[in-house]
Amino acid sequence: MSNGSSADRPALRVARRLRSLFRAVHPAGRGPWTQEEVAESTGVPAEVIRRLCDAEASDAPDPTDDQLKSVARHFRVPVEFLTLPDDSPQVRAWTCVSRRMNLLFADIYPAGRGPWTHEEVAESSGVPVETIRRLCVGAPLNGDTFAVRLDQLCQRISPATGKPYSNREVGAAVGKSGQYIGNLRAGTNEPGLPVAAELARFFGVSLSYFVHGPKELVARHFRVSEVYLTAEDDSPAVQEIEQSLRTLIALRDERVQRVVGRVLNHTWPKRS
């Protein structure tokens, strides 16, 4: 990335997406990362991190490609998440998932209560809250394998140590060696079903999350088909679900309720 007008739009794009990572992508058991923590973790100077987050910080040096990759690796996203243009197929797919997730959170919840929280959906679906947050900001994990999902969970803060879970700590909890857990995280070993089940129990997630990924489980929580989180915008199934959501939004509008109430000679109770 270089100075000059030709870099303005890419720099703004990187800044916008990186700010979303700082805001939403962090392990369970701790709050959002600070710029100083990411600088220490990646070896990228703090002033470069500041420049990445604020494209207008012209007094800070431009990041190199290697520094961008290091920052992406810290947040466990592909570097393309930071660099690809908005109209690229990958970014459009990630953005589509984010938009639809936020629609589900905003519009589908039981009568008598407000929208679900990330934590409530995580507990209900068996999907890690970290993954729920990622889906909502369109930040994919850097890979879609058992190893990647386990590695993300191991970044959680252990109540026993106040640090990310070590391989030895996780291994002791599931009756395996630390080296075995390290091999699972590296993708050099594949677990049997009993070990996967123990890991799911230890981290408080669904076994199905390890096997199938998060989208089916999240969709099931909101009582919609998984296709809503995976198909193109012109899919008939997606269009049908979005029409239902628009109807639901309209029915929550008090003006619509008054009209329907007059037709039915019925008065809705006032909201508290």
What's the rounded mean pLDDT across residues 15-43? 95
128 located within any domain:
no
126 located within any domain:
no
Domain end residue (candidates: 38, 65, 83): 83
Q: What is the pLDDT of residue 158?
A: 94
96 located within any domain:
no
Output phi, psi for 200, to 5 deg: -60, -45
Q: CATH no. for residue 48?
A: 1.10.260.40
Q: Give the N- to C-terminal CA distance of the chain in Å, as an integer.
A: 53
Q: How far apart are CA 222 and CA 229, in angstroms?
A: 11
Which residues, at least 6 apart from 191, have a Cβ–Cβ distance to it below 8 Å?
Answer: 146, 184, 199
Q: How far apart are CA 64 and CA 48, in angstroms?
A: 9
184 located within any domain:
yes
Nearest to 84 by CA among 76, 92, 96: 92
pLDDT at 254 over 80: no
Which residues, at least 6 apart from 229, have a Cβ–Cβ distance to it below 8 Å?
Answer: 97, 100, 101, 135, 215, 218, 219
64 located within any domain:
yes
The pLDDT tens digits for 124-140 are 999 999 999 999 999 99
195 located within any domain:
yes
Between 96-105, 121-130, 219-228, 238-247, the lowest mean confidence (pLDDT) is in: 238-247
pLDDT at 33 over 80: yes
Extract the tokens encoding 168. Answer: 């030895």
Mean pLDDT of the chain: 87
Q: What is the pLDDT of residue 141?
A: 84
pLDDT at 183 over 70: yes
Domain end residue (candidates: 43, 63, 83): 83
15 located within any domain:
yes
Domain end residue (candidates: 39, 59, 83): 83
Output phi, psi for 226, to 5 deg: -55, -30
Q: What is the pLDDT of residue 268?
A: 44
CB atoms within 10 A of CB 37: 16
- Angle of helix 129-137 versus helix 89-107 axis, rounded to 10: 110
**Quick check: helix, strand or coil at residue 166?**
coil
What's the rounded mean pLDDT across residues 114-126? 93
CB 69 within 8 A of CB 75: no
Query: Looking at the 3D structure of the chain, how many domains does it have?
Result: 2
% of the chain exceeding 90 in pLDDT: 64
70 located within any domain:
yes
Q: What is the pLDDT of residue 4?
A: 43
Confidence bin at 142 (pLDDT 50/70/90): confident
Nearest to 144 by CA among 180, 174, 187, 181: 187
Residue-wise DSSP of 229-246: GTS-TT-HHHHHHHHHHH
Tell whether the torsion through CA atoms of 208, 122, 130 and 164 is positive or negative: negative
Q: Output 227 or 271, whichever has higher pLDDT.
A: 227
Residue-wise DSSP of 70-98: HHHHHTT--THHHHS-TTSHHHHHHHHHH
pTM of the model: 0.80
Confidence bin at 63 (pLDDT 50/70/90): confident
pLDDT at 271 over 60: no
Tell whether the torsion through CA atoms of 149, 81, 108 and 115 is positive or negative: positive
CB 181 within 8 A of CB 170: yes
The pLDDT tens digits for 190-212 are 999 999 999 999 999 999 999 88
pLDDT at 258 over 70: no
Using only the alpha carbons of the chain, give its radius of gyration: 22
Q: What residue numbers bound the domain in which 179 lies?
A: 146-203
CB 73 within 8 A of CB 42: yes
